[in-house]
Structure formats: structure tokens, C-alpha cells
Amino acid sequence: MVFSSALFLFLFLPVFFVVYFLVPYKWKNVWALIGSTVFYAWGGPVFVFVLYGSILADYLISLKMVSSQGVTKKRWLWLGLVLNVGLLAYFKYANFFVENFTGLLELLGMGAFHWTEVALPIGISFFTFQKISYLVDVFRGEKKELRNMVDYALFVILFPQLIAGPIVRFKDIATQIVDRRANLIPEERLLGIYRFIIGLSKKVLIANPMGELADKYFDGVLDPSRGESWVAVLAYTFQIYFDFSGYSDMAIGLGRMMGFKFPENFNFPYISKSITEFWRRWHMTLSSWMRDYLYIPLGGNRVSATRTYLNLWVVFLISGLWHGASWNFVIWGAYHGLWLVLERGVLMSVLEKIPGFIRIFTTFVIAVFGWLVFRVEEWEVFTAYLGAMFTGEGGAQISAYQYTIFAIAIFFSFWAAFRPASKTEASPYETISPNKAVRITVISLLLLVLSSSFIISTDFNPFIYFRF
């Protein structure tokens, strides 16, 4: 069940929130847990048992951990980490490793290795990182453990952020889970509805048309012209941004309607003036998670320059693998890690002397080539499109409608570059006045009607990050 489906919008969402607002405060977490379980089970009922089994294990381990001291406490933490990483490794990477091992055996003439493919639970990469954050935050004493099993289960399975983030760390939401009276005010609900509809519009009105155009070429044209290759890669560049940021907006909006404040996940990444800045603006909850739970424990900036560069590169290599069990994701992570190392080592001092608009353009182009790696799993397709981008001939035939969507995507990706930094950094969703409330209501209704008409009239409605 995806947020931009008719089933979710016109059945699940109204039923869930009618009951949610009617039940007493002490039962809101219980109802939210029931609704979230139904939401997750819709995509694969069998995986509910996997999810709840891991939740129970983490819950019991956390209780053992806080009642222990010294080495014993650390051993309980490591047990929890191994169980979570092991579960992720089995479901997400077993097929990848077996396929590569089989390929090696066949290359050596030793025959094939027979294997029944393992199905991937939806959202496992996201909820695994959340569960790890719980164990580590409790171990460090940054937040007190949750003694109520319902509260802990809700932290993991809360449906707005369960499937594709934002990655909500325990210390950021612990108090909100326990105190359900906070933030449940009409103003928060209205801002949440507005944020949800903005995200829905980004997904349905921009990401989906861009996705159809990208798929048309990547999945159907094996010998592209120069124009077709650039159109395909740029369409995917805008698709993945509006798809994922749109989902994050919807998740944050839904959370706000329920009384939760999730962290921001995007801040106009395509106006970045370096890849370092890009990763401060793109998938921000993943970047901060990797920094606090992986990069800093590896030594961060406290070690030698060589070790710092290695840590940085390894973290992004792991980040690439986290996105998907395929070599193109590993290469994508290594690609971004290499740029970050180069910027930290030698390029940043040079970049600071270059005009801002040139740096924005250069960073965007670097990101675009990265998205080509991210999108294409087959080496032959990758080389065909990469080669055509530089040496191909001919243009691409796209309709006036597609030109219009491109123009809209470009405008909403880059317009913040022309605003004062103070206004760009400030969130437009934090406060509301009576005049703003009227404007928000009108805009929301118009966008909802328009988005709903698109949802009803088309079958193309994927979410890229659902498979991660």
C-alpha cells in the first residue's frame, strides 16, 4: 500500500484518522500500532512475523542491557547489533552473494549452486537502522529505555516512516511516543495535511511523469542517441528527487497529523555547491545516521588524515550497499565517497575560489552521472548511455507536456538558489497565521483534487525507495 494510491487515500487514511482522533490519549498508541500493522501487512503478511519477532528480541535485549554493567552490558548491545545486521544481511544480501558465488563457480567450471531466492521484507533497511539507533541510544544513556512493549513496537512500526523513512532516531522521538498529548493541536494537523498534500503532488504530478519518461528509454532503448541519453538521465535525476522527497513530505505530514515531529530529510540538494554539501541536503537522516553510528565510531576526524579519508570512503561504500544488493549501488557509493575524499583533501580550497553558480552546475552534473550508475544495473546499458552522452548523435522526441514537466521540475529544484540563505533554511511549515491558514486550505484542496485525478487516471505509481 503506497501513500499515493486510491486505497490509501480514500479508505485507509480516513478510517485510521477518524478512529485515531476519537480514541482517548492513552489508547492512541495502541490504535496507531494496529493501523501500522495493517498497513505493513498489506504488502506481505508473512513479514509481519519477521518484523515483530525482531521487535520482541530488541525489546528483551534492551531490558537486559540496561540491567547490566560493564562488559556484560556491551555484550548485550553487540548481540542486538549482530541480530539486526544479520537479519538485514540475510534478507537483503543473501541472493546477491549467492548469485556472485555461483557466477564464480561457473567461471571456474565447478557447476552452479542451487538456491531458493529470499524475498525482501519491505522497508527492512529503514527499520533496521531505527532499531539499531534505539539500542545504541539506550546503551549510551542518551534516552531511557521504553518499558512499555507497545511504545517500543510503535517506535519501529509507525506507518508514516516505516517503509522509506525519514530514519527517525530513538532520541529524537522518545518523549513524543510516551507523551501523546504534545503537539496534538489543530494547527499541527492543518500543517500536517498541507505537508502531506505537497508531497503527494510532488510524487504524482512531477515524479511519476519523469519516471515514465526515464523508463521509456532505459527499459526500451538500448542504442540511444545523445539527446535520448541525456533526457533519460535527467528525467531519472528529477524523478528520484521528487519521488523520495515527496514521500518524505508525506511521511512528515502524516506524522505531524498524529502529533509526531519527524526530522527533515531534504533541503534543495540540487543547489549544493559541492558533493559534501549535497550530502548535507540529500537524505539528511541517512547522512546523520551514518555519521553518528558509523563514521564517528570508526574514528571520524580524530584519526590521521589517511584514516579519515578511508573512514569516509568506507562509510559511503556501505551507504551504497545499504541502498541495494547490486554492484551498481556499491559503485555509486564508492563514486560519492571518492568525491567526498577528494573535496576534503584537495578540492575544497579550489572550489571556494569558483563562482557559486558554476559550483552548483558542476555539483549537479556530478550527481547526474551518479544517478546513471544508480539507475542502471546492466553494464551494457550503462556503457551505451554513458557513451551516447558524450559521443552520440541526434536528439530526442518528447512532447510539450513532458517539456512542461521538465520546466516545473527544474524550477522547483533550483528556485531556492535565488533566495536569501535565511529564507531557504527556514521551514515554511513551522508556523501558521489566519491568512496563511486560508491560503493553505485553498492550495491543499486544489492540489489534492488535481493529484487525485492523476492517481485515478494512471497505473504508473512506483516508489523508488520502497525496494530498499
Nearest to 374 by CA among 461, 272, 275, 465: 465
Sorted by sequence, the CB contacts under 8 Å of residue 413 that are 6+ apart come out as 238, 241, 268, 270, 271
Catalytic residue among 114, 283, 323, 336: 323
Helix 149-157 vs helix 25-41: crossing angle, to nearest 10:
50
Distances (CA, A) of 158 to 8, 221, 258: 15, 41, 10
Q: Where are the beta strands (DSSP E) in 77-121?
A: none
Which residue matches cell numbers 486544489?
A: 446
Nearest to 136 by CA among 288, 293, 262: 293
**DSSP structural state of residue 23:** S
Q: Cα–Cα distance between 66 and 79 in angstroms, integer? A: 14
Nearest to 330 by CA among 314, 311, 345, 306: 314
In contact, 32 and 258? CB cutoff 8 Å: yes
Nearest to 118 by CA among 55, 44, 41: 44
Torsional class of 183: left (φ above 0), alpha (ψ -120 to 50), beta (otherwise)? left
Q: Cα–Cα distance between 441 and 457 in angstroms, integer? A: 24
Which amino acid, one-letter code, is at 296?
Answer: I
Q: What is the CA radius of gyration of the chain?
A: 23
Which amino acid, one-letter code, is at 86?
Answer: G
Active site residue 336: no
Angle of CA points 153, 165, 26, to nearest 5°: 35
In contact, 249 and 202? CB cutoff 8 Å: yes
- Cell reading at 110: 565447478
Q: Cα–Cα distance between 447 and 406 in angstroms, integer? A: 19
- Cell reading at 130: 531505527
Residues identified as active-site: 323
